[in-house]
Structure formats: structure tokens, C-alpha cells
Amino acid sequence: MKTTVLSVHTGARRAVFDLTSEVTGFLSSVGADDGLVNVFIPHATAGVAIIEVGAGSDIDLIDAIDVILPRDERWRHRHGSPGHGADHVLPGLIAPSISIPVVGGNMSLGTWQSVVLVDPNSDNEVRSVRLSFLRG
């Protein structure tokens, strides 16, 4: 298995960050052919997803998270910024990892699909992302 860790500078903003080009670059750097690539976020307040970006879906996802997980004082987990407890529930809804089939060195994504880091937590400015490729 080939693996590496990326540092993603998310700043203090709550957003969706496109990782597709980084994953593609990783696959190229390890000479990937057929297999699986795994994208793993080792954080308790972030997740990884496959969605369309650039047409508003990424912003809609953050807005939907705010509806499903309101940033208020209802949460038992209360350290950090107001409503931070909601961030700790996020990985139960948006998983901290995904695996994507790789065929001929390329991710088997659909036309409009991108691999994204979903980070609603403005308290952390840098996120780690572990990429792993397992040959088929």
C-alpha cells in the first residue's frame, strides 16, 4: 500500500474543500494502475464526501449541515466556538473516509463528482488528509 498525508489549510472558514486534484496527483506519483484509493480525515469534526462543486452544491451542503446540525447551545459537547458540539456529530452523517475505485490510474468518478473535505469547524485552521492506494 502507498500512502501520504496532506495538510489542507482551511483557515477559519466553514466550507467544503475540493481535494480531487490532490488525489489525482497522489495517484500519479505512486504509479497507480487498478485498485482502490482511500481518503481519510483523522479529525473528530470533519468528513469527506463525493459531490459536485462549483455550481453551488458545496455551499448548499454547508447550509444543509446548518439546518440538520444547528450551531446553538443544544449540544452537550460545549468547548470551542458556539455550537461546536454540532461539529462533533458531523462524522456520524458525513463519514471520515471514502474509498474510490481506480481503473487505469484514474478515479472512477462520474462527470460532475469531486472528492471534498467537509469542514464546518472554524476552530481548526489546518486539517490532515491521509491518502492511501491499494493495488488491485
CATH architecture of the domain formed by 2-135: Sandwich (2.60)
Q: How far is CA 33 from CA 19, 38, 95, 101, in A?
A: 20, 14, 26, 10
Q: What is the pLDDT along the chain (136 residues), one digit of tens a residue?
A: 999 999 999 988 888 999 999 999 999 999 999 999 999 999 999 999 999 999 999 999 999 999 999 988 888 877 777 778 888 999 999 999 999 999 999 999 999 999 999 999 888 899 999 999 999 9
Q: How far is CA 95 from CA 23, 25, 42, 116, in A?
A: 17, 23, 11, 12
